[in-house]
Amino acid sequence: MIMVLGIAPGGTLFVKRADAPLRATPSKKAKVLTKLPLGTAVTREGPSERDKTFHRVRVGEQVGFLEQGELAPTDPTAAPTGDAGVLDAAAFAGAMTTPYDNCFTLPATDGGR
């Protein structure tokens, strides 16, 4: 079983840029079936046999190919959960130092005058 971005065939991946082209075949020159919005959930069916940089995906009833660079293991539009990216103002204030605690002296550039 080949994992892509930690996701096995049958797993869910997400489109990581707006208007990602879902193509009929695994080629940049292939007909674009539709353009998928940022954050669209797709079911990964597996890599293309012809071009491993493309992956066969299913969106509802539609099947097509997306380039691997268009896919992410998590929804890029989802709000962070838990403590990720959250700043606790009280903890931050308690960790503050005086403005001079992290200062250092630079060597004189004027010959010591």
| Rounded distance between C-alpha atoms, residue 95 and residue 102, angstroms | 13
Whether 64 and 24 have beta carbons less than 8 Å apart is answered as yes
Beta partners for residue 62, in sequence order:
59
Domains belonging to the chain, first-starting first, are 12-72 (2.30.30.40)
| Confidence at residue 81, expressed as pLDDT on a 0 to 100 scale | 62
Q: What is the mean pLDDT of the chain?
A: 79
Question: 33-75 pLDDT, tens per residue?
Answer: 999 999 999 999 988 888 888 999 999 999 999 999 999 999 9
